[in-house]
Amino acid sequence: MSDDLTRYSCQIALPGFGEAAQKLLQQAKVLVVGAGGLGCPALQYLVSAGVGTIGVADYDTISISNLHRQVLYGPADAGLKKAVVACTRLQKQNPGIKLVSLDLKITSDNVLGIINQYDIVVDGTDNFETRYLLNDTAVMLGKPLVYGAIYQYEGQVAVWNVKNLDGNYSPNYRDLYPEVDATQIPNCAEGGVIPTLAGIIGCIQANEVIKYITKSGELLSGKILVFDAQTLQSRLIKIGATTKTDIKSLVQTADVPSITAEELKSGLAENRFELIDVRTLQERDLFDIGGTHIPVEEIEENIDYFNSGNATVLYCATGKRSAEAVKVIKQKYPDANVFSLEGGLETIDTIK
């Protein structure tokens, strides 16, 4: 066995695997979108397994609240770009593969060109706009997509859009969830998540990628795995063998008007902004920076409030819910003078 294969000797020794499967891994190109709780463990094992080219797409920065589940980073990395730090660290882990840092936001303008360069995509995102965008693009390009999601103590994994022997494709995300009201579903930072769950689900995602590339095992195609970290019970929910969706175009993504913590601080000092807290009452009772309280689920019924022309800044814990609320307002009133606090209350130290 050559020296460059020695590090993979234990997986090459697997029955039915061998050097042929390892060569398939070395030739493969995998895109991981989201270098967070799911992306970190998935990336570590894809890199360790010897996948030849791995793209890491993430435009977010590392924060201290990430560290309990995003195991590639440490306290000294706070404020740095996730994609850049992840690639630098992972390249040291395996110098024999190619890592591509994509420090950018995936949008309807660039997603087709990015995904078209890869064989399979891993969805490690935490927002629904990007999740649907990845799904729809994968369907249009005929690429498989490994889905993962975590919330509190429960995780889900599935492999969407796999080409069947009859030439048809397996179900995709829209077969299970045609559309979701994202404003009513908190993410990990807002709803909480047990850190070990991120590792478990991320590793299962990496496992599905390896199975797909090496043509081994039974993929989570046409079904979804639901895992409960508290009981260690899992169940498989069958969806069907073939998709019933017909996706021919992408929903156009739009930039959400936002301001930074420093811009907010300056604006508040000059009385230029009105604040709206879109979090829950329980969150507000623990801490707030003032303003009117309109929970995100009540935005639509109070939407006329935002048509006054006043410059209004919506805030939540991380900026995710406030951004979704701004989208809802802009759909009804395109000229509304509303903004989302970028990064949410996680940036509060820069406001003080």
Angle, nearest 10°, between helix axes 195-214 and 18-27? 110
Query: Among 10, 40, 87, 188, which one carries the catalytic annotation?
Result: 188
CB atoms within 10 A of CB 205: 29
- Active site annotation includes 188: yes
Say how many residues make up the chain. Answer: 352
Which neighbouring-strand residues pair with 314?
A: 276, 340
Tokens representing residue 135 in the block: 């799904």
Query: Among 40, 87, 203, 316, which one carries the catalytic annotation?
Result: 316
Give the whole-angstrom CA distance, residue 22 versus residue 19.
5
Give the whole-angstrom CA distance, residue 30 versus residue 55.
6
CB atoms within 10 A of CB 342: 19
- Active site annotation includes 203: no
Chain centroid to CA 89? 20
CB 43 within 8 A of CB 32: yes
Radius of gyration of the chain (CA): 21
How far is residue 291 from each of residues 191, 228, 265, 273, measured CA to CA in Å?
A: 22, 38, 13, 10
152-190 exposure pattern, b = at least 16 Cβ within 10 A, e = fewer: eebbbbbbbbbeeeeeebbbbbbbeeeeeebbebbbbbb
Over 253-305, what HEC string results?
CCCCCEECHHHHHHHHHCCCCEEEECCCHHHHHHCCCCCEECCHHHCHHHHHH
Q: Could you list the active site residues?
A: 188, 316
